[in-house]
A and B are shown apart, each in its own frame.
Chain A
Amino acid sequence: MAVNVKLRKLLHRKSWESVTSAPASSAAGSFTVSDKNDTLSGAKAFFVQSATAIYMYEGDQDAWAQIPASGIAGTFAAGSCGEFRGLGAMGGTFTQTATAGTVQTITTNRTILRNLNGVRIRVVAGTGVGYDGIIASNTLGANAVLTLYTASGVAFDNTTQFQTYSGSLWFFNAGTVAVGFSVYDLATNAWTARSVTGLPTAWGTDAQLVSTAGGTGISYINPLRDPVTTNSMADLLATSATGTTIADTTAIWAVNQWAYGTVHIVGGTGVGQSRVILSNTADTLTVTAAWTTTPDTTSKFTIRFGVAGGIATAGGASTLTNSTKAWATNMWANYQVRITSGTGIGQIRTIASNTGTVLTNSAAWTVNPDATSTYIIESNDDNMYLLGNNAVTMYKFSVAGNTWATLSPVAARAGAYAAGGTADHITECVGWDQETAVTHYTTVLFKQNGRYIYCFRGGATSTLDVYDIPANTWISAVAYAYQQETFTTGTSSADACGFVYLNKEATGRIFRFDVALNQIMPVATNTNQSALGGTAVVGDRMFVLPFHEGQTLLYIGYVMRHSAADMMRMLII
Chain B
Amino acid sequence: MEIEIIELPHGFGYRVGGVYQEFDPEQEGFTPMTKERAEEMAAVIVERLTPPPVIIEPVAV
In the assembled complex, how far is the CB of residue B11 from the closest CB belonging to chain A, in whole angstroms? 13
Chain B binder among A184-192, A362-370, A406-414: A184-192
A70 vs B18: C-alpha distance when bound (angstroms): 7
* Chain A positions 374-405 with a Cβ under 8 Å from a chain B Cβ: 401-404
Interface string of A174-202 (1 = CB under 8 A from B): 00000000001000111111110110000
**Interface range for A:** 20 to 34
Which A residues are in CB contact (< 8 Å) with B21? 92, 192-193
Q: Could you tell me the distance in whole angstroms from the C-beta of B14 to the nearest C-beta in chain A?
A: 11
Whether the Cβ atoms of A190 and B28 lie closer than 8 Å is no
Picked from A69, A91, A402, A404, the residue with its CB within 8 Å of the CB of B49 is A69
User: Which B residues touch A191, using CB under 8 A?
Assistant: 18-20
Q: Are A402 and B17 in contact (CB under 8 A)?
A: no
A401 and B23 CA atoms in complex are apart in Å by: 12
B25 touches A193 (CB 8 A): yes
Do residues B22 and A92 form an inter-chain contact, with CB atoms below 8 A?
yes
A348 lies within 8 A of chain B by Cβ:
no
Give chain A nearest CB distance to B15 CB in angstroms. Answer: 8
Task: Kindly list chain B residues whose C-beta atoms are within 8 Å of the C-beta of A198.
Answer: 28
Q: Beta-carbon contacts of B17-35 to A below 8 Å, as 1s and 0s?
A: 1111111011111100000
Q: Which residue of B has the minimal Cβ distance to A68? A: B18
In whole Å, how far is A310's beta carbon from the nearest beta carbon of chain B?
35
Question: Contact string, B37-59, partner A, CB cutoff 8 A, digits 1/0?
Answer: 00000000100110100000000
- Asked if B16 is at the interface of the complex by the 8 Å CB criterion, the answer is yes
Find chain B residues with CB under 8 A from A67 CB.
Answer: 18
- Among A71, A188, A197, the residue within 8 A (CB) of B48 is A71
* Interface pair A52/B30, CB less than 8 Å apart: no
Q: Report how many residues on chain B are interfacial, defined by Cβ distance under 8 Å.
A: 19
**Known interface pairs A52-B49, A71-B48; A192-B28 also in contact (CB < 8 Å):** no
At the interface, yes or no: A27 with Cβ under 8 Å from chain B?
no
Residue of B nearest to A67 (CB): B18
How far apart sit A404 and B16, CA to CA, in the bound complex (Å)?
Answer: 26
Complex Cα gap A569–B25 (Å): 38
Chain A residues near B15 (CB-CB < 8 A): 190
In the complex, which residues of chain B have a beta carbon less than 8 angstroms from the beta carbon of A190? 15, 18-20
Separation in Å of the A450 CB from the closest CB of chain B? 27
Are the C-beta atoms of A71 and B17 separated by less than 8 Å?
yes
Q: Tell me the complex Cα distance, A52–B18, Å.
A: 11
Known contacts being A51-B48, A52-B49, A71-B45, is A195 close to B16, with CB within 8 Å?
no
Once the chains are docked, how many angstroms separate the CA of A395 from the CA of B51?
A: 32
Least CB distance, A169 to chain B, in whole angstroms: 12
Q: Are A195 and B45 in contact (CB under 8 A)?
A: no
A residues near B27, Cβ cutoff 8 Å:
195, 197
The answer to whether B18 touches A402 (Cβ under 8 A) is no
Among B22, B29, B49, contact of A401 (Cβ-Cβ < 8 Å): B29
The closest CB in chain B to the CB of A404 belongs to B28
Contact indicator B29/A188 (Cβ below 8 Å): no
Q: How far is the CA of A193 from the CA of B20 in the complex (A)?
A: 8
**Residue A72, interface by CB 8 Å:** yes
Type the 1/0 row for A32-69, where 1 means its CB is closer than 8 Å to any CB of B.
00000000000000000001100000000000000111
Q: Measured between alpha carbons, how far is A192 from B45 in the docked complex, in Å?
A: 11
Closest CB of chain A to B46's CB: distance in Å? 9
Query: Are B28 and A402 in touch, CB under 8 angstroms?
Result: yes
What is the CB-to-nearest-CB distance from A229 to chain B, in angstroms, rounded to a whole number?
Answer: 47
Closest residue to A194 on the B side, CB-wise?
A: B25
Chain B CB within 10 Å — which of A67, A184, A193 has the most? A193
B48 touches A72 (CB 8 A): yes
Q: A402–B48 contact, CB under 8 A?
A: no
Q: B17 near A69 (CB under 8 angstroms)?
A: yes
CA distance A155 to B59 in the complex (A): 72
B18 touches which of A73, A189, A197, A401 (Cβ 8 Å): A189
Determine whether the beta carbon of B17 is less than 8 Å from that of A192. no
- Distance in angstroms from B27 CB to nearest chain A CB is 7
A402 with B19: CB separation less than 8 A: no
A192 to B13, CA, bound (A): 11
- Cα–Cα, bound, A68→B18 (Å): 5
Closest B residue by C-beta to A191: B19
CA distance A404 to B28 in the complex (A): 8
Give Cα distance in the complex from A191 to B29, angstroms: 17
B22 x A192 contact (CB < 8 A): yes
Give chain B residues whose Cβ lies under 8 Å from the Cβ of A111: 20
* A71 adjacent to B28 (CB under 8 Å): no
| Chain A positions within 8 Å of B51 at CB level | 52
* Contact partners of B22 in chain A: CB under 8 A: 91-92, 192
CA distance A91 to B9 in the complex (A): 14
Interface 1/0 per residue, A410-436 and B, CB below 8 Å = 000000000000000000000000000
Distance between Cα atoms of A522 and B36 in the complex (Å):
58
A188 pairs with B20, CB closer than 8 A: yes
Q: List 7 A-B contacts (CB under 8 A).
A: A68-B18, A71-B18, A71-B19, A190-B18, A192-B25, A193-B21, A402-B30
B residues lining the A interface (CB < 8 Å): 15-23, 25-30, 45, 48-49, 51
17 extra interchain contacts, Cβ-Cβ under 8 A, other than A70-B18, A73-B25? A52-B49, A69-B49, A70-B19, A71-B16, A71-B17, A71-B18, A71-B48, A184-B18, A191-B18, A191-B20, A192-B20, A192-B25, A193-B25, A194-B25, A195-B27, A195-B29, A403-B29
A-B pairs with the 4 shortest C-beta distances?
A68-B18, A193-B25, A195-B28, A190-B20
